[in-house]
């Protein structure tokens, strides 16, 4: 890390280095991750290569000219394959947003309105259970889309209410599943973890089980798209949970991320191991997006996990931040925050400020509460230090179970890190890169979650079920 110095970095100079945060590096930050300088080109060059205004996502459809909005729109569109979105609904929303003028406000308002609409009965006829169920699932997706950009909208204070709307839609979906997922609150410090345990049927048969771990800004509906539906189709159980820094624990309980993710996963394994319908020798753990760091960290210490999948592999979320941001952090808290508040914040545009608020909120309750009040957080040092502590480089060698590391062609957020993680592993391991040849490029294959799940569950079946 290069420590910043007030002597060599004046306000205008630092402002110059931050120019382009939104159009380039900021787009990467807004999506929850960024490029690793150890293996990627410099930040601005990466931004131009992967997220330019003329080509925000290479080789794929352009819904929005801004790469952050485009990526999130593609995620929504990709959910259609598992019923968590509808192609026509998403594209109609995209057209409406572009017609009104793309902004955090128009994006948030349009998708929230679509979620509200789906939570009401359809215009013709009385909906049956399945209609109500999948309308609720799609509503959860659209509320999640709105939630992602709400801090940059005209109503940042509605963040918790918007989260609760999406959570209500998710719960309405779950209540109409057959069988209904088992819900519980599993111990974690002073704040229990909410969990949803999905089963293919209620026979009580002992089955392989996958624990699905979300990233830094995903919602429960993403776990349906990236694991639950595929698991049920294959006769697996699936456990969805909110950990610290995620979902209910972040937006309601105000608990931020922890670098000790094994303390999150171990109680989940304890709970699963006490169930007669779980084959305790076949419990797998997956981590999506930034959880490609969290899940391997947990697996390094929780050896009852029988197989691990990192989607993609991540060694250091902190190295994912552009160097212009990392330079702000010094060993001295007062000096760091002086640089942040006097040299950086005053020169930020509203869009740049919204980007930083979004990226920092899962790591700082004061930052989240300030953002909801329309203000910028003043303590950069504390959340930056927490993010830096998520580095798992020194514990990867402790992972013993078979591990699959996914990578993606045109990985725009963690380029190079999946291969780095794979090379450090000493356990039995496999590396798969999903490519543009089948439309599965970009971080987490937003347009191809079915292909994504096929790769993951074929590998899990081979390792755990002898298929």
- For 324-348, the pLDDT digits (tens) are 999 999 999 999 999 999 999 999 9
Q: What's the whole-number mean pLDDT along residues 266-285?
A: 98
Distance between CA atoms of 133 and 130, rounded to whole angstroms?
5
Q: Name the pTM for this structure.
A: 0.89
Secondary structure (3-state) at 69: helix
What pLDDT is stored for residue 125 in this prediction?
73
Share of the chain above pLDDT 70, in %: 87
Q: What's the whole-number mean pLDDT along residues 249-273?
A: 98
- As to burial, measured by CB atoms within 10 angstroms (0-12 exposed, 13-18 middle, 19+ buried), residue 351 is middle
Question: φ, ψ for residue 464 (rounded to 5)?
Answer: -110, -25
Is pLDDT at 59 greater than 80 in this prediction?
A: no
Q: 253: phi > 0 → left, psi -120 to 50 → alpha, else beta; which?
A: alpha
Distance between CA atoms of 106 and 154, rounded to whole angstroms?
10
The long-range contacts involving 98-104, CB below 8 angstroms and separated by at least 24 positions, are 98/64, 102/64, 102/65, 102/66, 102/69, 103/152, 104/149, 104/150, 104/151, 104/152, 104/153, 104/351, 104/354
What pLDDT is stored for residue 126 in this prediction?
79
Of the pLDDT bands very low, low, confident and very high (cuts 50, 70, 90), residue 32 is very low
Distance between CA atoms of 377 and 353, rounded to whole angstroms?
10
- For 178-232, the pLDDT digits (tens) are 999 999 999 999 999 999 999 999 999 999 999 999 999 999 999 999 999 999 9
Q: Cα torsion at 361, 366, 372, 376 (round to 10°)? A: -80
């Amino acid at each position: 890390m290069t420590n910043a110095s007030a002597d060599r970095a004046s306000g205008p100079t630092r402002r110059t280095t931050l120019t382009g945060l939104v159009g380039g590096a900021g787009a990467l930050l807004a999506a929850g991750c960024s490029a690793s300088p150890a293996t990627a080109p410099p930040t601005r060059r990466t931004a131009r290569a992967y997220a330019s205004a003329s080509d925000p996502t290479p080789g794929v459809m352009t819904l929005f000219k801004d790469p952050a909005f485009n990526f999130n729109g593609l995620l929504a569109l990709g959910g259609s394959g598992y019923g968590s979105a509808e192609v026509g609904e998403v594209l109609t929303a995209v057209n409406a947003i572009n017609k009104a003028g793309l902004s955090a406000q128009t994006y948030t308002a349009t998708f929230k309105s679509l979620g509200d609409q789906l939570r009401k009965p359809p215009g013709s006829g009385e909906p049956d259970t399945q209609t109500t169920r999948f309308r609720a699932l799609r509503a959860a997706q659209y509320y999640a889309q709105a939630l992602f950009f709400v801090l940059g909208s005209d109503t940042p204070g509605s963040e918790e209410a918007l989260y609760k709307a999406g959570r209500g839609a998710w719960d309405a979906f779950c209540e109409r599943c057959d069988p209904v997922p088992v819900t519980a609150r599993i111990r974690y410090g002073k704040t229990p973890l909410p969990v949803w345990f999905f089963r293919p049927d209620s026979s009580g048969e002992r089955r392989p089980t996958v624990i699905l771990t979300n990233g830094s800004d995903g919602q429960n509906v993403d776990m349906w798209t990236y694991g639950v539906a595929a698991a049920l189709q294959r006769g697996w159980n699936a456990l969805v949970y909110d950990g610290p820094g995620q979902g209910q624990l972040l937006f309601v309980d105000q608990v931020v991320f922890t670098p000790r993710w094994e303390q999150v996963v171990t109680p989940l394994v304890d709970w699963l191991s006490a169930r007669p319908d779980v084959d305790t020798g076949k419990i797998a753990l997956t981590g999506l997006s930034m959880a490609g760091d969290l899940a391997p960290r947990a697996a390094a210490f929780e050896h009852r996990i029988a197989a691990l999948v990192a989607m993609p592999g991540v060694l250091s979320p902190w190295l994912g931040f552009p160097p212009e941001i990392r330079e702000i952090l010094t060993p001295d808290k007062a000096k760091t925050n002086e640089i942040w508040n006097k040299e950086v914040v005053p020169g930020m545009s509203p869009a740049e400020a919204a980007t930083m608020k979004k990226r920092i909120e899962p790591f700082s309750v004061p930052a989240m509460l300030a953002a909801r009040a329309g203000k910028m957080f003043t303590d950069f040092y504390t959340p930056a230090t927490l993010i830096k502590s998520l580095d798992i480089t020194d514990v990867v060698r402790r992972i013993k179970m078979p591990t699959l590391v996914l990578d993606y062609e045109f990985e725009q957020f963690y380029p190079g890190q999946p291969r780095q993680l794979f090379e450090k592993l000493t356990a039995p391991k496999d590396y798969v890169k999903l490519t543009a040849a089948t439309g599965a490029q970009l971080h987490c294959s937003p347009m191809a979650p079915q292909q994504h799940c096929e790769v993951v569950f074929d590998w899990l079946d081979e390792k755990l079920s002898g298929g």
